[in-house]
Structure 1
């Protein structure tokens, strides 16, 4: 009997990165399912992608999307307004994890370079979304890309850094092509060396590596039981965090 290919759910599939992730995942032999709010936008996706209609912000509508999946790639994103990031980016992660319940899948979560910048409200909600993924008990990779498409044509060598130390809020923090972000997210799903790794992603002058496993392997894994990325500055104490996050965290930890 032929083993069916792994099924990967794309959250944010119709966005500029999500469409590239869909194409790369199809090319790599995954069965691809896309969660979309507007079916008309799914026309831009590659042939063969299964489309499931649902609203990421409405938990009851995403149950069908997560059914029987083996992996999830999050590339959704809204704006840099705190309310949008809280109610869409962060809530989307929480709602998908809730829908999964105690089932274990492989997760790749895209956030952004500078996620740990102090005093930046929207970034704090991205960091809290990362924390929920770490707390969920799933194997995961958290990718914090630099600035999309600010790279020169010759900047194709993929670089992964940790500690989120570049926080100018400008392309000086790192640049990367969109297709390379998609490639890293998809590669991480099948790489044991990418498990429990959190890193900032950029590119430097040089050719793109054929094999990213050695690059993943060079990174420190997030500590067992930690809500923070390896080498990140300490997060605020729990009693300093919003009640919404504390409640979500308690609930998701209870699903493990």
Structure 2
């Protein structure tokens, strides 16, 4: 299949590119900087130059794709703020996908503890959570993966564990850890496994080996309720009527396209 990785030169995105290629998929890497992409990505990857903050650049990137993995992450700069990238970037990709005749699958990577609303994270987690809501409202088949702390696992901790309800919210590695390479494996399998459809889950690792087939773990998860804004078991602590007006407008627009 033809897969698109958005955030392809990031620390997880580049591993997703390699994992998709290893599974035999035609893999497009959406990047802003060609030189950086050629330095970091396998030569077999098809490099697509675009910018998620500029919707007009995304049409060619999404044309004909069967699946999209979103591993977006802002760097805090004026161009790359959580609102512009983690949220609006996802919105802009979904808008581009809505023009397709096909129905591609979406896998969105966010973060464990996303529902904490802790001031310690600034607004980062709130914008990531809003991006999750857009994906759920899109009507596209999706999976949303919330990894724990990157690469803080021990050498024997590679057995993936899926959690739901986002109850680990201390904002420390005590919430769970996971290797970036193991995150990439889960994201790629979630893109093609039917058992992962409409699942939202936290991803951590415990002692044990990598598991080559994760379909049974996906199957054990509870799907998100139809029409729900949040993941199964999430604390309802972000009321829609208290959200910024433009966020409510974006959700209404995405829902309107999915109903069309």
TM-score bucket (shorter structure): over 0.9
Query: What residue number does 1:249 align with?
Result: 251
Query: What residue number does 1:229 align with?
Result: 231
Superposition pairs of residues 116-195 of structure 1, within 5 angstroms: 116-120=115-119, 121-195=123-197
Does 2:104 correspond to 1:108?
no
TM-score normalised over the length of structure 2: 0.93
Does 2:29 correspond to 1:34?
yes
CA distance in 2, matches of 1:244, 1:79: 23
Does 2:86 correspond to 1:89?
yes
- The 3-state SS of whatever aligns with 2:257 is coil
What is the number of equivalent residue pairs in this alignment?
A: 251
Shift of 1:236: 2.4
Out of 6, 11, 18, the residue aligned to residue 16 of structure 1 is 11
CA distance in 2, matches of 1:134, 1:102: 18
CA distance in 1, matches of 2:47, 2:21: 14
Shift of 1:119: 4.0
CA distance in 1, matches of 2:4, 2:236: 31
Name structure 2 gaps, 5 residues minimum.
none
Superposition pairs of residues 22-61 of structure 1, within 5 angstroms: 22-43=17-38, 44-61=40-57
- The 3-state SS of whatever aligns with 2:87 is helix
Aligned Cα RMSD in Å?
1.5
Deviation per CA, 1:69-119: give whole Å up to 9, x if none: 110000110147898111111111000001111542100100000111124
Deviation per CA, 1:133-186: give whole Å up to 9, x if none: 000000001000000010000001100100100111110010000000000000
Of residues 17-26 and 118-127 in structure 1, the stretch that sits farther from structure 2 once superposed is 118-127
User: Contact 1:78 / 1:84 at 8 angstroms: preserved in 2?
Assistant: yes
Query: What residue number does 1:205 align with?
Result: 207
